[in-house]
A and B are shown apart, each in its own frame.
Chain A
Amino acid sequence: MLKYILKRIFLVFFVVIGVTIVTFSTMHLAPGDPAEVIAVARYGDDLTQEQIDWVRVTEGFDSPVYIQYLKWIKHVMHFDLGRSLVTSHDILEEITIRLPATFKLAVLSLVISLCIAVPVGIVSAVKKNTVIDHLCMSAALLGVSTPNFWLGLLLIWLFSLTLNLLPSYGYGNFEHLVLPAITLGTSMAAITTRLTRSSMLDVLNQEYILTAKAKGLDEKTILLRHVLKNAMLPVITFAGLQIGFLLGGTVIVETIFAWPGIGKLLVDSIYARDFAMVQGCVLFIGILFAFTNLLVDITYAFLDPRIRYENT
């Protein structure tokens, strides 16, 4: 078990290195001269070649790319992601200010989605091909095919404008969190419901379920002890991926509800051509993704003995 976890952590280390290389490359592969972009941000549109060259030298863009990368990595390892080209704020600080908002939204959305998806998926599978199943699956299909922005607007119209129950945008107390979390949660639930159902059906057809029946166990025991643990494995993987996406910021929903999360920061920085900020955000999101996957892998090991006792 410990060996497995260490192996995973070791792998995450390489993933993170990969992430830094890709992130760094985006800045250099992107069309345009980074020095020029920085100079524009610093001195405005009326530039002289001297100003650009000055930036190139002071920012170190004249040295070979790998030297630049190593320098950048050195800073990153000291938790220094540099400063925003536009606002000159510390990038890491800017991200960490946004983190609580993103985190709250991500966690609540995931909780909502799992609270809907897992029970509905289970009921749907157990009552396969009945009216209940068809209803659940139709609802899920509707959920999958409803775009986030439309559902968000619909919820704003209903709960904010018509019923005047909840604020339509902004960040502050729990009330602000409700609508964006429901928008994200329900749309994610739709996919997870279908996954839970198919995974349940898959397990229900396994021979060991027949063995459990042959022992004379009742349906509830079979479902809780024998089916659920096996059926949840793919659902957990999927939920892990989802939380990765959520923590990376959900651009559309954050924009609709003016939610000050990382997704919104990223989009704003792209519009402002704030390369340094984009680089910082992408790196941060990438690392977050790698670590949520690590967490999923570890959870997996707790649930599945075949992984726990793997001797590699």
Chain B
Amino acid sequence: MSLLKIQDLKVYFNARGKTVKANNSIDLEIRENEILGLIGETGCGKSILGRAIVGLLPDNVKIGGKIVYRSEDILNLSENGLRKIRGKNIGIILQNPSAALNPVLSIGNQISEIYRYHENMGKKEARIRTAKMLEMVGIDPKRMHEYPHQFSGGMKQRVMIAMGLALNPGLLIADEPTKGLDPTTKDKIIDLICELVINKNMSLLLITHDIGVAEKMCDRIAVMYAGEIIEIATIKNILSNPQHPYTQDLLNSLPKKGLNQTAGESPSLSSPPAGCRFHPRCRCIIGKCLKTHPQLMETEKGTSVRCFLYGNN
């Protein structure tokens, strides 16, 4: 059932003598054929989590815990082992397609090199596979000789999707795939990713701060705050009964609910508040919150939450 299991993941950076705890004790499971949304404010550590899964973090990082992909702990792999997993088993679509495509290589080259490298394909065969891939994401294969600057933002994102899915990985990680796109293009990209992921029986980790997008696509949603997961629930539970006050605030910030902002700023990851990390901004604060750090606990079927207001935390 479980495709990827993250246990007690810690990602710490050293920045000017301070330790930035970008991910702190993350426990997360991505199941087979599931679309899991990872939502949270900018800077809460969600992109770091996505990159940690494929081992694409900078050198000055300290990682602890486990990331198990189909019985293999990714964190124990050598650089060589990691390379075989990247692209082949886990594909990732990075943020900002305009910067994520190499400006001096044609998009056809940038896709076909995946086949040539991982599957030792000849040029011709790789080109045929690339053409198929481009067709699948809705780009005329004739454009394979064109360069990134000749494509619009939405088209570039399609190229990124084609790259991420080129080798039919078991898991696709999409980091803000709809960022910077206009609403119509956004919908098309969402539909495309959903369709492909479902057709190919993959799992998807969708990293986004756009709750509307998450709502549309996901089976389950994990909410991150200040480097921690504070609530994981099925999409139905989250929408009908959001439990953590932060999750409630997030949903209330949607335009249809009146754009209500959560008071205060998101905390610094190098010196987070004691006790519950959300307590300085919380509406429902109780005495315990100031000193004790709550654990992630299952409160009802399909919902786990890190809050003293629920269950026996």
Contacts and interface: CB of A to CB of B under 8 A. Distances in A.
Interface of A: 206-208, 210-218, 221, 225-226, 229-230, 303-306, 309
Contact of A217 (B56, B83, B147): B83
Interface of B: 54, 56, 82-88, 91-92, 94-96, 99-106, 113-114, 117-118, 147, 149-150, 160, 163
A306 B103 contact: yes
A67 to B, nearest CB: 50
A208 B103 contact: yes
A230 B102 contact: yes
Contacts of A214: 54, 56, 86-87, 91-92, 94
16 contacts: A206-B99, A207-B94, A207-B100, A208-B99, A210-B100, A211-B160, A214-B54, A214-B56, A214-B86, A215-B86, A216-B82, A229-B105, A304-B104, A305-B104, A305-B147, A309-B147
Contacts of B82: 216
A214 B101 CA distance: 12
B102 A211 contact: yes
A218 B114 CA distance: 11
In the A-B complex, list the 6 residue pairs whose CB atoms are closest, starting with the nearest.
Answer: A216-B86, A216-B87, A305-B147, A207-B99, A208-B102, A215-B87
Given A216-B84, A309-B150, A211 B94 contact: yes
Contacts of A210: 56, 94, 100
B117 A207 contact: no
Nearest to B87: A216
Contacts of B118: 216
Contacts of B96: 207
B113 A221 contact: yes
Given A215-B86, A215-B117, A306-B147, A230 B100 contact: no
A44 B147 CA distance: 68
A230 B103 contact: yes
Nearest to A207: B99
Contacts of B85: 216
Contacts of A309: 147, 149-150
A214 B110 CA distance: 12
Given A305-B147, A309-B150, A208 B100 contact: yes
Given A207-B96, A304-B104, A306-B149, A215 B113 contact: yes
B117 A216 contact: yes
Contacts of B104: 229-230, 303-306
